Amino acid sequence: MIRKIVHIDEEKCNGCGLCIPNCAEGALKIIDGKAKLVKESLCDGLGACIGHCPQGAITIIEREADEFDEKAVQEHLSRMEKENHEKNQKPAHHNVHHYMGGCPGSMMRQINRQWPVQLALVSSSAPYLYRSDLLIAADCTAYTYGNFHNDFIKDRSVVVGCPKLDDNNYYIQKLTEIIKNNDLKSITVVKMEVPCCSGISMAAKVARDRAGVKIPIKIVTIGIDGEILDSSNV
């Protein structure tokens, strides 16, 4: 049938992933560094993702395409939820193996500094998160900003990740659990100025809203030359 459907200009797309969580049907996915339509029948053609693309890579066109299938959407979203749930169990799984003689590097600990810090490994019920000042940092920021530890890590709990290389939908789910369950005192996001890094601040804002918590998020942007370009609350 001829109908309206999403079209992605891959030459313009930089793989930032900002469109992904704004597609309620889960029809978009980052594949090989580009946003792609997973399946025609999952796209309703309404274009909720368009306004979230900083590159203007997404448009709505009319062409021959499979009919939109609401049942297929529900099945697809259920599979995604199951996969995200399984991913979320990995930290606990690793910790159990540590006590059974497995990898010591994944053992949760807090001496002078917490461990682990990778968002995919941090348990949402880790004791160092409760009533803490939470820092959510893009991986590259600590290597770019020279005084990162003193200015940002000191007296904060920390989670780090890369929204370009990892699943930003998983970040949203994990951060929602952390924010909802830990009565946080503050949230600070430190990201790079590059467009793809905006995904981590977007994930924090979506997670806060889903958690139903009224807490401002301070977003700090680091330039590629190592200076602070901007700091604002949202």
With CA atoms as reference, report the closest residue to 202 among 80, 28, 45, 54: 54
- Mean pLDDT on 32-57: 89
How high is the pLDDT of residue 105? 46
Q: Count of domains in the chain? A: 2
What is the reported pTM?
Answer: 0.60
126 shares a domain with 48: no
216 shares a domain with 142: yes
d(CA 120, CA 85): 12
Query: Which region among 91-100, 135-144, 188-197, 218-227 has the lowest average model confidence (pLDDT)?
Result: 91-100
The CATH number covering residue 131 comes to 3.40.50
Which is it for strands 133-138 and 2-8: parallel, antiparallel or unpaired? unpaired
d(CA 157, CA 112): 11
Instruction: Give me the chain's average pLDDT, please.
Output: 86
Per-residue model confidence as pLDDT tens digits over 177-210 = 999 999 999 999 999 999 889 899 999 999 999 9
How high is the pLDDT of residue 59? 94
121 shares a domain with 40: no
126 shares a domain with 73: no
139 shares a domain with 167: yes
- Choose one of 30, 48, 80: the last residue of a domain: 80
41 shares a domain with 93: no
- Mean pLDDT on 150-177: 91
Q: pLDDT band for 110, please (50, 70, 90 cuts).
A: very low
| Residue span of the structural domain in which 204 resides | 89-233
Contact status, residue 90 vs residue 59, Cβ threshold 8 Å:
no
68 shares a domain with 93: no
119 shares a domain with 192: yes
Per-residue model confidence as pLDDT tens digits over 114-155 = 778 999 888 888 888 999 999 999 999 999 999 999 999 999
| Backbone dihedral angles phi then psi of residue 87, each to the nearest 5 degrees | -65, -40
> Can you tell me which residue has the tokens 């807090």?
110
The CATH number covering residue 41 comes to 3.30.70.20
d(CA 232, CA 217): 8
d(CA 128, CA 122): 10
211 shares a domain with 101: yes
